[in-house]
Structure 1
């Protein structure tokens, strides 16, 4: 699969003033599609500039991964001149400019009315914690919507947090959708837009859109925990003779039949249906009898080496996957042939490192990936290009500590 250099959002300029995951992932997604995303960073870096995971030299792998392909201007926003620079960058003229993404709190000078007074067609997307302005992060909103209380094994009463900040990532993609929707409206009407997006709303909408809140209301009780069993269908992990662990799922009647056939358990499972009145062609019945079904299937996996299990499941078109650690994922990518969403970039301050392209493929091709900038790498370039400042003006800003170049 080839990698193409086409940039669908080429020419669009976005100013980003955001930290942590949601806001930066929005800018990253748009930047991977070709937008010129200018990060305005505090001199010395923001709250997430040194966030873990980190490289051996202390550089943040997290920050580098979320800011791929952007430009960075380092500005002291505590100063009046620094605030003026940011406002000027956000409201600079041009049909494909005037787009701002931030998660700032308490900066009245950076409010939509203040910015729109300078550019009436401004598009401003503000990422928040809660709609009332209270702070939140993925791990707090996830606790609030109930997911940790239905996660984990049946034996534990303690909540189980998810490792992936899923709500942050969904918020970032929702923010990107908002930017594109507002751009479409501006093209059609000439109007700007102010969009607010609360992380807590994204999490609530997520569990509601899956029917989980409706289920809780009708049940009047929490959904039971099932460990690695798939809720509402059949799916669970099995161990092979040589100690490998795999996840097997049978969502459809065809997948269920394939699993029965390859494991040679059809007669036993049919007897179980007859004894219990269940019909395993129905997803609900497979779910309700999950423990008994797993007990019947488990010996088949336990008696075979992984290589045999893999070959037979693949031949039967069973839906399955082997559990892998991330070290193995990286090794498989390094040893692999052909194109994938993963690639390598030469990251300043870190060196060659694994990175991801946009998962979107255009005409079957991935777009090119670029490294994150060094902090303040493009300060002079942005001030000259976007604001038209001359060398003397830029030099004075450097001398007065209002802006900074790469560290």
Structure 2
């Protein structure tokens, strides 16, 4: 774990992807992220995928690496009081609350700022008006399913990657650090709201899709696996594998042609089509005809032959591989990559865990830390953060208001 954010304490109340991943990103940079959950775990504690050996959620452990866990009865007024105390503890780098529990009255900004005026609260919601949305409902509304999938299809195609949750999580982490810097400069806390649909719409606009629809009045066509506005696609190899080769820039185009021995053929083709393939728009216009040549070339070579030729020429390419192939064969997904470490995850077993993808020149990235067991740090948080005595902590356990890790 990196020490970039050492001393920063973030209290997290969350479920699903966006908020937990935001907290995890902060924890990987050294922040003390304390996650509170209902005793026994929240609604996503057992979500798939699960470990075959004991059913533990690989989803939950994957999103909560490096945090501390506080288990409390959230329905009990005394349990809620403990959470409010935890969130509003004094300290220049404390008093930060990250959540996607929108609309919970006892966790509102107004309720918490009665206890700490300079509180920072980052709240992730579905839509800007507070109404419910998840990644999959947001994605269906922002246009991408209508440009995804085979060109011959007549129905929208959903993407399996929860892209808006991921983007929202990183934006939320940025919101935490930005609000903290502002408080250090001004002494003022604030409530920062981030809607999942706003995150998606911001990206859609930044990539030109909104302007394309408004200014040009055009619906982007379905391209299958062709890259829009340039040349790139999947190709089959002689030994039955598939690769992706890209020529986004002019240099990449020239290198790809040279590697495949097709420079002269492409010059002839562009002459016949009265186009200039040094212009990305022209390459895109002729993508079908161009692809036929590269498809034939790839089908005459094995994956290993293509690897040697493409790597020698500096082609922008990679091979399609499953998750199991990625883990088995790709050195980028192994301890050869300094981001990864093999860690013993309680309740799951030993497996690769990624630390932060950020690699600072002046600070060590550090080893990855596993996710906690629910309630693993309850007693130390009650004692060291809230400041309760062992007798007071014992009474809370006896009353069933808090819980430690299950035996």
Same fold (TM over 0.5): yes
Corresponding residue for 2:388? Answer: 389
The DSSP-based 3-state class of the residue aligned with 2:365 is strand
Where do residues 59-78 of structure 1 align in structure 2 (5 Å cutoff)? Answer: 59-78=56-75
Tell me, yes or no, if structure 1 residue 132 matches structure 2 residue 129: yes
Corresponding residue for 1:359? Answer: 357
Q: 1:8 aligns with which of 4, 8, 22?
A: 4
Corresponding residue for 2:155? Answer: 158
CA shift, 1:343, in A, is 2.2
Runs of 4+ in 1 over 6 A off after TM superposition: none
Note the alpha carbon deviations across 1:333-379, whole angstroms, 9 max, x for none: 68956333222211111111222110001228533210000001111
Tell me, yes or no, if structure 1 residue 243 matches structure 2 residue 270: no
CA shift, 1:117, in A, is 1.2
Q: CA RMSD in A?
A: 1.4
Corresponding residue for 1:283? Answer: 280
Q: Is the alpha carbon distance of 1:361 and 1:315 closer, same or farther for their aligned partners in structure 2, counting shifts above 3 Å?
A: same
Tell me, yes or no, if structure 1 residue 79 matches structure 2 residue 67: no
Q: Distance in 2 between matches of 1:230 and 1:333?
A: 24
Tell me, yes or no, if structure 1 residue 33 matches structure 2 residue 29: yes
Q: Distance in 2 between matches of 1:159 and 1:340?
A: 39
Q: Is the alpha carbon distance of 1:130 and 1:336 closer, same or farther for their aligned partners in structure 2, counting shifts above 3 Å?
A: closer
Q: Distance in 1 between matches of 2:303 and 2:76?
A: 63
Which moved further from structure 2: 55-64 or 323-332?
323-332
Q: Distance in 1 between matches of 2:334 and 2:123?
A: 40
Q: Distance in 1 between matches of 2:221 and 2:124?
A: 33
CA contact (8 A) 1:361 1:367 kept: no
Where do residues 53-202 of structure 1 align in structure 2 (5 Å cutoff)? Answer: 53-56=49-52, 57-202=54-199
Q: 2:311 aligns with which of 311, 314, 330?
A: 314
Q: Distance in 2 between matches of 1:220 and 1:265?
A: 37
Corresponding residue for 2:370? Answer: 371
Q: Distance in 1 between matches of 2:370 and 2:97?
A: 22
CA shift, 1:217, in A, is 2.1
Note the alpha carbon deviations across 1:250-277, whole angstroms, 9 max, x for none: 0111111111112222222212211221
CA contact (8 A) 2:88 2:115 kept: yes
Tell me, yes or no, if structure 1 residue 346 matches structure 2 residue 354: no
CA contact (8 A) 2:334 2:340 kept: no
Unaligned 5+ runs, structure 1: none
Q: Is the alpha carbon distance of 1:215 and 1:251 closer, same or farther for their aligned partners in structure 2, counting shifts above 3 Å?
A: same
CA shift, 1:221, in A, is 3.7
Q: Is the alpha carbon distance of 1:300 and 1:144 closer, same or farther for their aligned partners in structure 2, counting shifts above 3 Å?
A: same
Tell me, yes or no, if structure 1 residue 207 matches structure 2 residue 224: no
CA contact (8 A) 1:13 1:38 kept: yes
TM-score (norm 1): 0.96
The DSSP-based 3-state class of the residue aligned with 1:133 is coil
Q: Is the alpha carbon distance of 1:339 and 1:310 closer, same or farther for their aligned partners in structure 2, counting shifts above 3 Å?
A: closer
Q: Distance in 2 between matches of 1:299 and 1:379?
A: 62
Where do residues 249-268 of structure 1 align in structure 2 (5 Å cutoff)? Answer: 249-268=246-265
Q: 2:301 aligns with which of 301, 304, 309?
A: 304
Which moved further from structure 2: 102-111 or 72-81?
102-111
TM-score (norm 2): 0.96
CA shift, 1:154, in A, is 0.8
CA contact (8 A) 1:33 1:367 kept: no
Which moved further from structure 2: 340-349 or 33-42?
340-349
The DSSP-based 3-state class of the residue aligned with 1:362 is coil
The DSSP-based 3-state class of the residue aligned with 1:139 is helix
CA shift, 1:132, in A, is 1.3
The DSSP-based 3-state class of the residue aligned with 1:100 is strand
Q: Distance in 2 between matches of 1:68 and 1:297?
A: 43
Tell me, yes or no, if structure 1 residue 42 matches structure 2 residue 41: no
Tell me, yes or no, if structure 1 residue 402 matches structure 2 residue 401: yes
Q: Is the alpha carbon distance of 1:395 and 1:66 closer, same or farther for their aligned partners in structure 2, counting shifts above 3 Å?
A: same
